[in-house]
Amino acid sequence: MSVSHRLTAPAPGWTTTTDVVVVGSGVAGLTVALNARKAGLRAMVVTKAMLDDGSTRWAQGGIAAALGEGDTPEQHLDDTLVAGAGLCDAEAVRTLVTEGPDAVRRLIAVGAEFDLDADGEILLTREGGHHRRRIAHAGGDATGAEISRALVTAVRSDPGVELIEHALVLDLLTDAEGHAAGLTLHVMGEGQRDGVGAIRARAVVLATGGMGQVFSATTNPAVSTGDGVALALRAGAEVTDLEFVQFHPTVLWLGPEAEGQQPLVSEAVRGEGAYLVDADENRFMVGQHELAELAPRDIVAKAITRQMQLKGTEHMYLDGRHFGADMWATRFPTILASCRSHGIDPVTELIPVAPAAHYASGGVSTDLRGRTTVPGLYACGEVACTGVHGANRLASNSLLEGLVFAERIAADLAERHRSGELPERSVDVAGARAAVGVPLPAPESRAEIQRLMSRGAGVLRSAESMAATAAGLAALAEQALAHVAEEKPADPRVETWEAANLHLVASALVAAAARREETRGCHWREDFPDRDDTHWHRHLITTLATTGTPVTG
């Protein structure tokens, strides 16, 4: 089947122009937009739902930075490298931990209000893998919501930042030299800008967040469908280490049929002293790791999964009854309300928890300036792989990474603008097509993709389980192509693009996970249970072949 029979959006019905188009409205996207404005560039923020609907809002625990007495960037670096299980880029981590503290101070200057002690100092908590109290938080356990509030307020009050909400990005536009020159998008119900349109720009920044919706149960919101990684792959960009999907150990267990976004029970709850126990109230993490419940996240998620297998149960428990009612209400108001809304009172009861998909440690490959392998295309935040997280992200490093690398992208754009390296681009909008086409499965495929992924490529994987998942994904692609051949292609609407993106990132993730024949960080192979530094102490790069198939090398 030729590529031209694959994903095709209708020709754009409208076009607009800016200097920098930023896709995504979390901490990374909004920070790029605000800083690009300071450099005199016009910025346009495109977001899939409302401005504050991305993953940032859901972050509970906080933002890690060496701000406390006795703490240093060097210690933060050490903890990050240990969590990353040998695959962090040390230079990227050094950049993160040394620029992080001032980046947090700049965030405070923008208006974010962190929890303070009686002397006005920032209160710091602990989370898994951190040997120090290093996590700044806001509203107790509503850190992401506060950061989002502050940045959204700043962006809304800057008339130089234009916003397009309810818009799903489709494909990158490039000029004759292959430099990013804007993108196509599908806007839902924006009056004049309804339907498929195009934004012409001098540079494009992806800050689209994660891909958790590729699994049945995730902490990610419904909008996290891997759109940025999918766009980048179709544009010919390289992506790195997609196999390293972090499963958060303590997600509120709502029953075997629970699907979609699940409530998080922050690691900070363990940071403040809650225990993991089995149904007999045995603390099974004690003796497994020197940090017990505060071991790096991959170790805790694996221990919970093993314990569930051993006991034949579908969840373990978190015990925070000793906190008492006042501490629950002041320190963890969001989690308290969320548990109670599901009929569990953490003040008097154990909280049932199980791991669920949480964070993509890999993503679109970038350098330290946020540049991808496609000129003029940048990425930051969860969609990017800067090298900071390696095989397993250290808790609460993600908001910091979004912040630090967004500032670096804006600085690079400013520098290029000053030196005349960022001219207006000329692009044939009407004839725009992705560099590589992919199948466009029916919107109903979403649930089937999630089931296939959770069954065969979830927290525990094997060659056999992933072959079954890959076969299921291939069958969905064949179905999509058969419908095109019969001239009954899927209706090109937002749900269809999302299914196409989920299908593409799922296929790429499985290709990488099947290739890595070892257990490392958050990639856990039943058939290769050990870390193998001889063969696999390296990154896996995935690109799309011209046939639309992900190739991992």
Judged by beta carbon, residue 197 or residue 271, the one nearer ligand SIN is 271
Judged by beta carbon, residue 167 or residue 353, the one nearer ligand SIN is 353
Q: For 263, which DSSP code?
A: -
Q: Report strand pairing: 260-261 vs 217-218.
A: parallel
Task: Please spell the DSSP secondary structure of 275-319, one letter per residue.
Answer: EEE-TT---TTBTTBTTGGGS-HHHHHHHHHHHHHHHT-S-EEEE
| CB of residue 298 to ligand SIN, shortest distance in Å | 12
Catalytic residue, from 297, 331, 393, 461: name it. Answer: 297
Is there binding between residue 293 and ligand SIN (CB under 6 A)?
no
Would you call 42 a catalytic residue per the annotation?
A: no
Is there binding between residue 216 and ligand SIN (CB under 6 A)?
no
Segment near ligand SIN (CB under 6 A); pick from 54-62, 118-126, 302-310, 311-319? 54-62
Is there binding between residue 60 and ligand SIN (CB under 6 A)?
yes
Can you list the positions of beta strands (E) in 343-497?
351-360, 363-365, 377-379, 384-385
Among residues 544, 440, 438, 437, the alpha carbon closest in space to that of 499 is found at 440
Is there binding between residue 80 and ligand SIN (CB under 6 A)?
no
- Please give the residues from 324 up to 383 whose contact with ligand SIN meets the rule CB under 6 A: 359
Is there binding between residue 66 and ligand SIN (CB under 6 A)?
no
Judged by beta carbon, residue 59 or residue 522, the one nearer ligand SIN is 59
Token pair in block for residue 149: 């509030």
Are 142 and 264 in contact, with CB atoms under 8 Å apart? no
| CB of residue 334 to ligand SIN, shortest distance in Å | 10
Is there binding between residue 218 and ligand SIN (CB under 6 A)?
no
Segment near ligand SIN (CB under 6 A); pick from 32-40, 266-274, 347-355, 432-440? 266-274
Long-range contacts of 486-489 (CB under 8 A, 24+ apart): 489/440
Segment near ligand SIN (CB under 6 A); pick from 321-329, 392-400, 488-496, 516-524? 392-400
Among residues 334, 211, 201, the alpha carbon closest in space to that of 265 is found at 334
| CB of residue 283 to ligand SIN, shortest distance in Å | 19
Is there binding between residue 266 and ligand SIN (CB under 6 A)?
yes
Is there binding between residue 542 and ligand SIN (CB under 6 A)?
no
Q: Number of residues in contact with ligand SIN, rule: CB under 6 A?
A: 10
Are 111 and 31 in contact, with CB atoms under 8 Å apart? no
The one among 338, 396, 519, 552 contacting ligand SIN by CB under 6 A: 396
Q: How far apart are CA 58 and CA 143, in angstroms?
A: 8
The one among 52, 171, 267, 412 contacting ligand SIN by CB under 6 A: 267
**Closest-approach residue to ligand SIN (CB):** 61
Is there binding between residue 224 and ligand SIN (CB under 6 A)?
no
Is there binding between residue 61 and ligand SIN (CB under 6 A)?
yes
Angle between helices 445-456 and 463-485 (to 10 degrees): 160
- CA angle at residue 210 from 148 to 57, to 5 degrees? 20
Q: Report strand pairing: 377-379 vs 203-206.
A: parallel
Is there binding between residue 268 and ligand SIN (CB under 6 A)?
yes
Among residues 518, 396, 494, the alpha carbon closest in space to that of 187 is found at 494
Placement of tokens 């001032």 in the chain: 102
Judged by beta carbon, residue 458 or residue 550, the one nearer ligand SIN is 458
Is there binding between residue 227 and ligand SIN (CB under 6 A)?
no
| CB of residue 396 to ligand SIN, shortest distance in Å | 4
- Please give the residues from 178 up to 197 whose contact with ligand SIN meets the rule CB under 6 A: none
Is there binding between residue 115 and ligand SIN (CB under 6 A)?
no
Among residues 512, 418, 400, the alpha carbon closest in space to that of 105 is found at 400
Determine how many CB atoms are found less than 10 A away from the CB of residue 205.
34
| CB of residue 136 to ligand SIN, shortest distance in Å | 12
Is there binding between residue 398 and ligand SIN (CB under 6 A)?
yes
Segment near ligand SIN (CB under 6 A); pick from 58-66, 100-108, 153-161, 418-426? 58-66
Q: How far apart are CA 3 and CA 548, in angstroms?
A: 7
Determine how many CB atoms are found less than 10 A away from the CB of residue 368.
16
Token pair in block for residue 454: 């959770």
Judged by beta carbon, residue 201 or residue 303, the one nearer ligand SIN is 303
Residue type, 340: R
| CB of residue 267 to ligand SIN, shortest distance in Å | 3
Determine how many CB atoms are found less than 10 A away from the CB of residue 175.
18
Is there binding between residue 100 and ligand SIN (CB under 6 A)?
no
Q: Report strand pairing: 541-544 vs 550-552.
A: antiparallel
Segment near ligand SIN (CB under 6 A); pick from 22-30, 53-61, 346-354, 437-445? 53-61
CA atoms within 13 A on the CB side of 143: 28
Active site residues: 297
Which residues contact ligand SIN (rule: CB under 6 A)?
59-61, 266-268, 359, 395-396, 398
